[in-house]
Structure 1
Amino acid sequence: MQFWENRIRRAIAVGVGAAALGAVGVIAGGTALARRVVTPERASAEPVVLERVERGDGGTVLWLRGRHADLPGQYSFIFDGEAGHARVGPVHAVVAGAVARDLVQLDRGTLQPGTRGRLTGWWYASPEAVGLRTERITYETELGPAEAWLIHPDRVRRRERGRWAVHVHGRGALPEETLRGVAPLAHAGVTSLVISYRNDPGAPAGDNGRYGIGVAESRDVDAAIAEALRRGAERVTLFGWSMGGTAVLRSATSGRYAAAVDGLILDSPAVDWPALLRHQAATFAAPRALADLGIAMLQRGLVRGGEPGGIDFPSLSPATVAAALQVPVLIHASRGDSFVPSAGAEALAAARPDLVQLRLLDVGEHVKLWNVDPDGWEAATEQFARALPRPGWRGELPDPSGD
C-alpha cells in the first residue's frame, strides 16, 4: 500500500507541474493521475534504513530511520526487496531521528546495519504463521484460475457449520495484508478463504492489465463466494481492506451471490473514490480540475482501466452504497488515515445507522489500525462476526452463464 501512495503522489506532483503550463498541462496531469490509479505497481519503495542492531540479554533492538519509522504500534519490517521479514514492537525511544523498536521475531532474512526496507501493517509472513491449518488452492474466476489460501478454525468442535469468510486485500498489496483478520474469525468458528485477484502474482491479468478500482475486482470476489459455496459454505462474511473494501461492498450489494452474504467487515475502506482522488490532489495543492479530469477520463474510458467501457464512479459513493446495503457492516477507520480519509466511512455509517457499526479511531494510518490496537481490533471483529444473523438465502447457486 505504501508504494501505491508514493506513486499516486508522484503522479499528482507531475500534474501540478504540468498544470502550471495551462490547459494542455492540466490534461497531461489528469491523464497521468488516471493512469497511476489503475496501473499495478510491483516495485515497492524502501524508505526505511536499519542504522544499527543492539543485541543484549533483554533481546534485540533495531534502530530505524525513515518515513513511517516512528508510527505508533507494532509492524512488519519487510526488507531486501521482499526477501526479508521481521516483526517489530512499538517505539520505545527516539534519538536524533532514529527510532528504537524491539525485534519481536525474525521470520526470514538477515538484519544488519544498512539494510533497507519498509514498515507495513502486515504482521504474518505466511498463512501458516497464523498457526491454523492451511490449504493452498485455486479458484476459478472469469479470467482463469487464481490462487487462494483456505484456513480452518483450529478445532472441529469450534467450527460453525457452513460459516465462511472471504478476505480481500487492498490495491497494491498482497493477500498477506488480510491475515490479521483471520484469527478473530477463526475464534468465532469461521473458515477463511484468503484470495488473490486479478493483477496479483498467482492470478490472471485484468483487462488492459489494469485495476478496476474495486468494480472489476468484485467479480473475483463473486467467484470466491461461489468457491466457498461449492465447498459447503451456507453463508459468507466478506472482509475487505482499502480497495478490497470497495470490491466487497459492490459484491454484497449487486453481486451474483449477494444473497449468501451475511455481513461485511471493512478496514480503512475506499468508500468514496472521487473524494479520495480529490483529497490526494488537495494534499499537493493541485487544482481540483486535475482530479476531476482524471476521474472523467477513467469513467468514459478515455484512459483505459480494468473495467470495459470505463469505471462507474457514480456507483462508488457513500449515498449509492448506503441505498443498496442490506446486511450488517463493521467498519474499522481512523481520522489519522492520511491516504483514504475516514469521511467516506463516516458518511456511510451516518446514512445507515441501522446496519453500519463504525469503530473510529483518532490514531492509526491507512490499513494499520490493527497495529495500533490489536486486542481491541480483534475483540470488536470477533464480537461482530459472532453476532451476525443468518441470511435468508436457501437457494441453489445462480447459473454461472447468467441465463
Structure 2
Amino acid sequence: MKKLGRILGIGAGLGAGVFAIGAGAAALGGLALARRSVTPEDEAEELVSLVSLERDESGLIARFRGPSADVPGRTSFLFDRGRGNVQLSEAILPDDGPGVARRIVAAAGTELHPGRTGRLTGWWYLAPEDLGFRTERIEYETELGPATAWIVHPKRAKRGRWAVHVHGRGAEPAEVLRGVRPAVNAGITSLVISYRNDRGAPRGVEGRYGMGLSESRDVDAAIAEALRRGADRVTLFGWSMGGTASLLAATIGEHRDRIDGVILDSPGVDWESLLRHHAGVARAPKVLTDIGIGLLERGLVRGGEPGGIKFERLTPEAFAENLRVPVLLHASRGDTYVPSTGAERLAALAPDRVQLNLVDEGEHVRIWNMDPEAWESRTELFARSLPKVGWRG
C-alpha cells in the first residue's frame, strides 16, 4: 500500500481512500481512466436511425429516433462510414408523427432511405470545395513525418495573411470547415490541417493524444508551412482540443511571434478540471480520478507527450500569464462535454486580451449550429480587426 502511494505520489488522505476501495481495484480503475483519456476512440457509435422520409409543400422531412435525435440547432446526418451526408435544419415543432422531424437542406453521397443508422454531428461541410472557394490538397512536414492539409484561397487574398484551422479530439479536419468562411471572406488564406493520430497524418507517440501539448507542435509545423508559402502573420482557429493546441502555440510555441490572434470554439483550457468533470459524469470515485491524473502526469500511463502530461501548462492561469495577442472565445453554458467554466475563467484573467462570446445554448462545438450568421459575423469582424504582428497589449 505504501509502495503504491509512493509510485502515484499520493498522501495519507488519498491512501486511506484507496484502502477503502481496495488498492488493486483503485489502481486498475485509475489506470483505465488514464488510458481512456489519451486513447483515440474507434468510429463514433451510431446513435440515431432514420425512421421515415416525408414530403410537404416545402420539401423533404426526415424523422429520427435515438438519444441525440433532438440535439438543438442545425446538424448533419453522417452514415455509411461518412460516405453519406445530409444537412438538416433544427428540429421542427412536434406533431403526431414518429421521432424528431427535421427538414433536409441538402444531401450528398450514399442514397438515403428509412432504416439508415448514423450519427448527428455539428459538422456541416465534408470537403473544402463545398465552401465554393478554390482549394488545394497539400502535405506539410511535422516532427513525425508528413501530414495532409487543405488550403482554401480567398477570391481577394490579403498579402501575407494566413490562418491555421485546428480540429478537436477524435474529430477530422472537416469539423472546422464551418469556421473557414469568415477567414476567407476577410481575405485570409486558410490552412486546414490534420495532425498526429488522424487519418492522413503520422501516428503519435504510443498512438495516443497529448491533450494539446504534443499536438501544438503540429500546429507549429503548420505555421511554418504557412510562413514558407508567404505568410507574414498567422491567425489560429482552434476547436475543442484544437483550441488547447492553438493556445499553446500562441503562448509558448516556436512561432508565437508570428501569430496575430486566436479564435477559439469550445476550447479545452483547464484539463485537470475537465478530466474530473468526465470522471464525475461516469460516477468514478474521486480517488480513482486522482490516481489516473497522477499516472498521466508522471508518465506511468504513457500519453502522446513523452515524460508525462504537464497539467500545470493546461490551466487558464498559465494561458493568461503568457497570452500576448487578442483572442475571440466562443463558449456555451450548454456544453456538457467541455464546461464553459474554464473559458470564463480565462476571459476573467485576461479581459484586455480575451473577448468572450458566451451563449446559453449549444452543445460542444455546436455554437455555430445554433446561429451560423451571428457566429460568422462576429468571427469575421474580429479577424478583420487584428493588428499586425508586434501588438503586445
1:9 matched to which residue of 2?
none
User: Contact 1:268–1:342 at 8 Å: present in 2 too?
Assistant: yes
Q: Pick from 293, 296, 310: which aligns with 1:295? A: 293
1:179 aligns with 2:180: no
Q: CA offset at residue 141 of structure 1?
A: 0.3
Report the CA distance between 1:19 and its aligned residue: 11
Q: CA-to-partner distance for each residue in 1:131-170, whole Å, 9 max, x for gaps?
A: 11000000000000000000001x23xx211100000000
Q: How does 1:110-129 map to 2 (within 5 A)?
A: 110-129=111-130
Answer yes or no: is 1:334 the counterpart of 2:332. Answer: yes
The farther-off stretch of 222-231 and 106-115 is: 106-115
SS class of match (1:376): helix
Aligned to 2:10: none
- Partner amino acid for 1:227? E
Q: Whole-Å Cα distance in 2 between the matches of residues 189 and 314 of structure 1?
A: 37
Equivalent residues of 2:51, 2:98 under 8 A apart: no
Aligned AA (1:376): A
Equivalent residue runs for 1:276-287 within 5 Å: 276-287=274-285
What CA deviation, in whole Å up to 9, does each residue of 1:332-390 have, x standing for no partner? 00000001010000000000000000000000000011000101000110010011000
Where does residue 104 of structure 1 map in the other structure? 105
Q: 1:289 to 1:130 in 2, by over 3 A?
A: same
3-state SS of 1:43 partner: coil
> CA contact under 8 A between 1:298 and 1:304: conserved in structure 2?
yes
Match of 2:68 in 1: 68
- Paired with 2:350 and 2:135, the residues of 1 have a C-alpha distance of 36
Q: What is residue 142 of structure 2 aligned with on the other side?
A: 141
Q: Distance in 2 between matches of 1:61 and 1:20?
A: 55
Deviations 1:191-235 (A, max 9, x none): 000000000000000011111110000000000000000000000
Aligned positions of 1:131-280 closer than 5 A: 131-153=132-154, 155-156=155-156, 159-280=157-278
Q: Aligned partners of 1:168, 1:42: CA distance in 2, in Å? A: 20
State whether residues 59 and 104 of structure 2, in contact with CA within 8 Å, keep that contact through their aligned partners in structure 1: yes
TM-score normalised to the size of structure 2? 0.92
Call closer, same or farther: CA 1:227–1:283 in 2, change over 3 Å: same
Contact map agreement 1:75 1:119 (CA 8 A) in 2: yes
Query: C-alpha root-mean-square deviation of aligned residues, in Å?
Result: 1.5
The answer to whether the aligner puts 1:93 opposite 2:102 as a matched pair is no
Query: Which digits, 9 at most, give the CA deviation of each residue in 1:43-80, with x for residues without a partner?
Result: 22111110011134421100011122112211111012
Partner residue in 2 for 1:7: none
CA distance in 2, matches of 1:148, 1:240: 15
Q: Deviations over 1:116-139 (max 9, x none)?
A: 011111000211101110000000
Q: CA separation of 1:191/1:309 partners in 2, compared to 1, >3 Å: closer, same or farther?
A: same
Q: Is the 8 Å Cα contact of residues 107 and 125 (structure 1) preserved in structure 2?
A: no
What residue is the counterpart of 1:29 in the other structure? Answer: 29
Percent identity, aligned pairs only?
60
**Whole-angstrom distance in 2 between the partners of 1:313 and 1:97:** 47
Unmatched 5+ stretches in structure 1: 1-17, 394-403
Does structure 1 conserve the Cα–Cα contact (< 8 Å) formed by 2:63 and 2:98? no
TM-score by length of 1: 0.90
What letter corresponds to residue 38 of structure 1 in structure 2? V
Displacement of 1:250 in angstroms is: 0.4
Verify the 8 A CA contact 1:140 1:146 in the aligned structure 2: yes
Q: Where does structure 1 differ by over 4 angstroms across 4 or more consecutive aligned residues?
A: 18-21
Are residue 389 (structure 1) and residue 387 (structure 2) matched?
yes
Deviations 1:279-303 (A, max 9, x none): 1112233222222211111111110
When residues 19 and 226 of structure 1 are mapped into structure 2, their CA distance, relative to the original with a 3 A threshold, is farther
Gaps of 5+ in 2: 1-17
Other structure's SS at 1:149 match = strand
CA distance in 2, matches of 1:298, 1:246: 17
Give distance in 1, aligned partners of 2:61 and 2:192.
33
CA distance in 1, matches of 2:73, 2:344: 24
* Alignment check: 8 A CA contact 1:19 1:29 kept: no
Structure 2 residue aligned with 1:316 = 314
Match of 2:7 in 1: none
Asked if 1:46 is matched to 2:43, the reply is no
Aligned to 1:371, the other structure's residue is in SS state helix
